[in-house]
Structure 1
């Protein structure tokens, strides 16, 4: 009870503060359809409309694709075949714990393809807190509004004697049981895409507000069981793929409501989740509560002085940032926070979060949480402690358990950043122990721990001619993680020998830089360069990119990288060439043109591939290279060209909000190139005024009153009305509630921020 009181108090305080700013309904700016105009061949986001609360345990989405298809909703589809509870973080990871509801009239159709109904975007409303669509084949309108672990549905039927609601338990093991007297359906679904214990279940419960005229169940889409007992007994089915059909007689425009909740713990917990989150609320009450949740969170960032489309793009991007990692915990009858462990199958106390790939989110998503959501981030860190205690490893790509996806050892980066920024409330000693374990070898899958650690620790790099794929990319990411470990070890007063070891390893990027050609490249065990290298060869020594993209991945030491180039001018010239070089590519490693390559080509920006994460920070390196005005220019160019709120409004895989987080930061005018430093490289603020309403009660503000489409360059900066010469702002500037003022012009100031003292942190450069 005490926990609920605390949550309610925080919600009321935040609501009063945010709503005092304006009466604008910020959810109206958000388009959840952004990024849904995608396919296997070309990603404009590879997203689906997530109807959810911020970081909700469950999302809901209309389903246009086949069961098990990672592209569950695509904008160019014509038919909807279900409304499913989804947990999918990416089509490449695919979904788990999914089941669906669907409505029909007339002749019953069970098969998902046969039952699909034509729909039009003209009759579709998609908002974070509300979805509505008209199913033309059945003359039925479906509405959905979410809670954290459930949802309310509202179906509007025509006059008919044959109205049906289908509950589809999906494949890979499911169960449904109908209780006619209680107007209730319970069940479970077990579909998953890997990384779960044997006892993994998603239990669900559904209550309807209208009595059933008839009840049927099916198994694997073909065996129908008809209940002839006058609805006096429960009817159930269990198997590989089962479902239930609830039939009604309805009047014209009659609404039938359904309340749904689920649990990874038990059916009893699902009932409790429904009671706690929905209870006796009407559909409209739940809708209003969900809208309030979103308006509160969106309202933490207040913007003024942009176009309508810029507002829509910004708040749509912010919505995407606030979806993952999702809550994977529940609150039991004693008001205790508990979770089903996706690692050992037990129900245990404490927080758990999932559906996050640190390879993506270490770059901007988690640094955003550090600033805007320190309390939430503390809970996430507690969840990492639990993950380590339950599995023996830190999660690098969790969905819901360990998944073999991407490279790096990037959890260390965000653990260090959180602790170094003063976030507490979690067991940092256990996390430090886990980080050190990571450095010694790989875990249960190649993406956990460090694949190739035995080579890296001995040679200082992972050789090209060993059985460790994408070795250069792993080396570069391990080096940045080692810098983070050294910084954290220093803050924790660890032995100097240990700190020095990781500090030295953070220079390992030097082993793979070839000064003769000015690129990172793979190196053999004997120290010779790999013979297969071309700067535009995708994959091979790198991950989903080429040396054009990975050469810049020395986040902690841009000046040291410049020294490797032979000087700032040489590095700057190569960075310039990223945008002017012909967009050639070598896809021999993959054997075909992967979608990331296509996304680079169609953007018409040379070798710049913003649609994938490794190069997204690169334009901000101009702040170290004595031409910060180029960072300002390219930030605006990329925001204007590659982002919108439309279904094709993203330019590559969204990946847990990272691509959107880049936009949110860039629109605010700064970017976290080096998480762990508490410094943020400056770009070009998009709005005339932006305010960050922080959890400590302070407000950070950036003013740019003469900002415009033409005035993209910063001519002068003032901090709290005093002249400011640096190319970065600090975490302390933000949390203390500073006010920055930028004088924007249409021509670059070629001298502003060019001094050594103006540059952000670089490991090999001692700050004066």
Structure 2
């Protein structure tokens, strides 16, 4: 009887959560599917992602490699052979990789990619943000990886064999390898990159084994060579052991862009922990970062939300290391020097200015403060703010959207004050110049833009209308910072005037934006469905809405709310017709629009992702609520084909994170979020300042996308936007959802979000 009483007491304490006074840790990372979006190819992207096994914003990621060396599609879900486990810094298959090398356990002297490749099954694969495991069937080896920010721990379980081996591949285009058998160590460097680096670029790596090397050799171009050291186009090493079945061999791995000594220092991130200790630490880090958002929704919605949030905190990646004094230092991909301070890379602002960086400002401001310091360092080292960095300036996309990224952080007082003026000066310099070699950095065509108010269509500058529209918004951003810093009024007025340059491209005949020639005539002929040409990865139906800062000005140009809403409606009503002649064939972005059965709405690419929210500016917010819910429900899944286009460094993911909470930053640089339709039932957001935002959405189901009522801090709230400052103080948002639109709520001009013209 006494034993039964004790047992019941123990069970009661455990059930009440008091066992050992240890609270239950919520494992948000368990909802994440790192394979979301990996079923992609050149012709059709369902994300163009790979399973990034990493720490949040980590310098080095690790991934299983199904593709051949140099293939940007390095892991594709429906491929069934693994060639290695690669340290990667790839932000996108279109940008490709740099600083890459791989490790592959095998049985026998199988060196080349084809020789060492092994069949595997997703049923024998575990992918979590902080841990990856897979069974290599042809070698009978279980491989596990768990990383830190700059190092990683491998655990390889071998069969019984006299020829258990590990192949280290430093890749081609110039590499070095050296075996130190007395230290159970291999060091080397790789220079394989896809651009954006100076001549002295190297990624130095060190691999430390916990078992004495019983066999070792270096190799070149897949063939064994004599000696312990080798430098050539494509070199590597192979080391070996005799193993009993089930024997585990551990490898500690780290790398550095600074040198071998720094790589050894980075190896210290693993500390004295064993594999499971590093794995547990990684899980804890991820749960803390993801746990900023506690949400309650359907299981698949939970999985999609946290998978998207995981993607949102991978990039931009750290490109700094900690020196002997514990202070941040970095190798500069802009001038090849070793310099103090933070640096971040691997993001394209054409994508991520829209809501990825606003998400950092909202939920992770301390990290973005470091990123802003890193942007200033980029300017100091190159003379320009970056637009697409990987790791240095890359020739990709259009716009000067660093102005948006910098201004939003300054205006929200996230950037340290000592960097406000230097970053403002960097914005001015970048806005009035163009990189001599990389036309996507700075403002290509700025001379025309500053003189005429637009970049002409017929002067040899491609995608001129897209550039003009984005430059105009960026000028508004510059003006807002100028106001905050008390700059001369003439300077502020200049950029405010330029912020209205979007008007030059508006064609009242079509109610659309259109390229304009140097003499002031519109481009002719004009096909609103033509992708590219005057626009970037989209057509006029997509880019016309790129007036983030002055939607009311655009509404007036279109003739008022009714016409504006009609044009918004038409995006969904026009069939998915297109003209691909600019590209000479159907690019994947076109195909992704075509197959989604949402007319000409192309959510798989970034230019139109804010468009649905614009119904709020014209008095019909219920249409935004309907189409937002359609987009979330139909275009996102926590599966390998889970995205409707390129995920793009967290932007498409951050759209889902914001939208599922019920609001979105249409105009970064303003203090407003435009309201939508919350997908979640409940959310608790833990802000860095210690405050909390609590969101509830009663009666929220698939058939109730419409907002019947919203209360803010207990009071009925009728506006179509929320303010950043109000939310940062802590707030309670109570949505009441319905299956019918409320055509009386949010219809007056006093409810409309910010526009410069108002």
Q: Which residue of 2 aligns with 1:255?
A: 248
Could you give the per-residue CA deviations for residues 243-295 of structure 1, whole angstroms, max 9, x where no partner exists? 000011000111111000111111001101111x1122100000000000000
Q: Which residue of 2 aligns with 1:453?
A: 446
Given that 1:215 and 1:226 are in contact with CA atoms closer than 8 Å, whether structure 2 keeps it comes out as no
Q: Which residue of 2 aligns with 1:178?
A: 179
Which of 363, 368, 374 is matched with 2:354 structurally?
Answer: 363
The alignment status of 1:297 with 2:289, answered yes or no, reads yes
Counterparts of residues 115-514 of structure 1 (less than 5 Å)? 115-222=116-223, 224-226=224-226, 235-275=228-268, 277-304=269-296, 306-425=297-416, 426-444=418-436, 445-514=438-507
Which of 661, 669, 680 is matched with 2:654 structurally?
Answer: 661
User: Aligned to 1:181, what secondary structure does the other structure show?
Assistant: helix
Q: Which residue of 1 aligns with 2:609?
A: 616
Q: CA deviation at 1:336?
A: 1.2
Q: Which residue of 1 aligns with 2:14?
A: none
The alignment status of 1:73 with 2:75, answered yes or no, reads yes
Could you give the per-residue CA deviations for residues 348-374 of structure 1, whole angstroms, max 9, x where no partner exists? 110000001110000000000111111
Runs (4+) of structure 1 moved beyond 6 Å? none
User: Aligned to 1:603, what secondary structure does the other structure show?
Assistant: coil
Which of 547, 552, 572 is matched with 2:540 structurally?
Answer: 547
In 2, distance between residues paired with 1:268 and 1:612?
A: 43
Q: Which residue of 2 aligns with 1:96?
A: 98
In 1, distance between residues paired with 2:325 and 2:24?
A: 38
Change (3 A) 1:569 1:20: farther
In 2, distance between residues paired with 1:562 and 1:569?
A: 9
Counterparts of residues 478-627 of structure 1 (less than 5 Å)? 478-627=471-620
Q: CA deviation at 1:173?
A: 1.0
User: Aligned to 1:704, what secondary structure does the other structure show?
Assistant: strand
In 1, distance between residues paired with 2:257 and 2:420?
A: 28
Q: Which residue of 1 aligns with 2:63?
A: 61
Could you give the per-residue CA deviations for residues 49-93 of structure 1, whole angstroms, max 9, x where no partner exists? 000000000000000001011000000111000100000000000
Q: CA deviation at 1:690?
A: 0.8
Could you give the per-residue CA deviations for residues 374-422 of structure 1, whole angstroms, max 9, x where no partner exists? 1111111100111111111100000000000000000011211111111
The alignment status of 1:683 with 2:683, answered yes or no, reads no
Q: CA deviation at 1:114?
A: 2.6
Q: CA deviation at 1:201?
A: 0.7
Q: CA deviation at 1:21?
A: 8.1
Q: CA deviation at 1:691?
A: 1.3
In 1, distance between residues paired with 2:405 and 2:376?
A: 13
| TM-score between both structures, scaled by the size of structure 1 | 0.95
Could you give the per-residue CA deviations for residues 603-623 of structure 1, whole angstroms, max 9, x where no partner exists? 111000000000000000000
User: Aligned to 2:288, what secondary structure does the other structure show?
Assistant: helix
Which of 631, 647, 653 is matched with 1:638 structurally?
Answer: 631
In 1, distance between residues paired with 2:196 and 2:564?
A: 42
Which of 681, 687, 691 is matched with 1:698 structurally?
Answer: 691
In 2, distance between residues paired with 1:460 and 1:244?
A: 58
Could you give the per-residue CA deviations for residues 142-167 of structure 1, whole angstroms, max 9, x where no partner exists? 10001000100011111011111001
- The number of equivalent residue pairs is 736
Counterparts of residues 748-763 of structure 1 (less than 5 Å)? 748-763=741-756
User: Aligned to 1:385, what secondary structure does the other structure show?
Assistant: helix
In 2, distance between residues paired with 1:221 and 1:604?
A: 49
Q: CA deviation at 1:236?
A: 1.0
Q: CA deviation at 1:595?
A: 0.4
In 2, distance between residues paired with 1:397 and 1:30?
A: 27
Which of 734, 743, 746 is matched with 1:741 structurally?
Answer: 734
Given that 1:79 and 1:119 are in contact with CA atoms closer than 8 Å, whether structure 2 keeps it comes out as yes
Q: CA deviation at 1:226?
A: 4.6
In 2, distance between residues paired with 1:135 and 1:326?
A: 30
Q: CA deviation at 1:550?
A: 0.2
User: Aligned to 1:191, what secondary structure does the other structure show?
Assistant: coil
Worse-superposed segment, 291-300 or 697-706: 697-706
Unaligned runs of 5+ in 1: 1-18, 228-234
In 1, distance between residues paired with 2:294 and 2:271?
A: 33
In 2, distance between residues paired with 1:636 and 1:705?
A: 16
In 2, distance between residues paired with 1:393 and 1:21?
A: 49
Q: CA deviation at 1:20?
A: 8.9
In 1, distance between residues paired with 2:115 and 2:531?
A: 41
Q: CA deviation at 1:22?
A: 5.0
Could you give the per-residue CA deviations for residues 319-363 of structure 1, whole angstroms, max 9, x where no partner exists? 000000000001111111111111111111100000011100000
User: Aligned to 2:450, what secondary structure does the other structure show?
Assistant: helix
In 2, distance between residues paired with 1:522 and 1:434?
A: 29
User: Aligned to 1:323, what secondary structure does the other structure show?
Assistant: coil
Change (3 A) 1:698 1:139: same
Counterparts of residues 107-122 of structure 1 (less than 5 Å)? 108-122=109-123
Q: Which residue of 1 aligns with 2:705?
A: 712
In 2, distance between residues paired with 1:183 and 1:439?
A: 53
Q: CA deviation at 1:441?
A: 2.2
Q: CA deviation at 1:109?
A: 1.7
Change (3 A) 1:317 1:153: same
Q: Which residue of 1 aligns with 2:45?
A: 43
Worse-superposed segment, 423-432 or 484-493: 423-432
Given that 1:50 and 1:59 are in contact with CA atoms closer than 8 Å, whether structure 2 keeps it comes out as yes
In 2, distance between residues paired with 1:20 and 1:249?
A: 44
Q: Which residue of 1 aligns with 2:84?
A: 82
Q: CA deviation at 1:503?
A: 0.3
In 1, distance between residues paired with 2:550 and 2:606?
A: 18
Unaligned runs of 5+ in 2: 1-20
In 2, distance between residues paired with 1:618 and 1:691?
A: 27
Q: Which residue of 2 aligns with 1:13?
A: none
Q: CA deviation at 1:688?
A: 1.4
In 2, distance between residues paired with 1:204 and 1:439?
A: 38
In 2, distance between residues paired with 1:21 and 1:729?
A: 34
Change (3 A) 1:125 1:686: same
Given that 1:38 and 1:45 are in contact with CA atoms closer than 8 Å, whether structure 2 keeps it comes out as yes
User: Aligned to 1:571, what secondary structure does the other structure show?
Assistant: helix
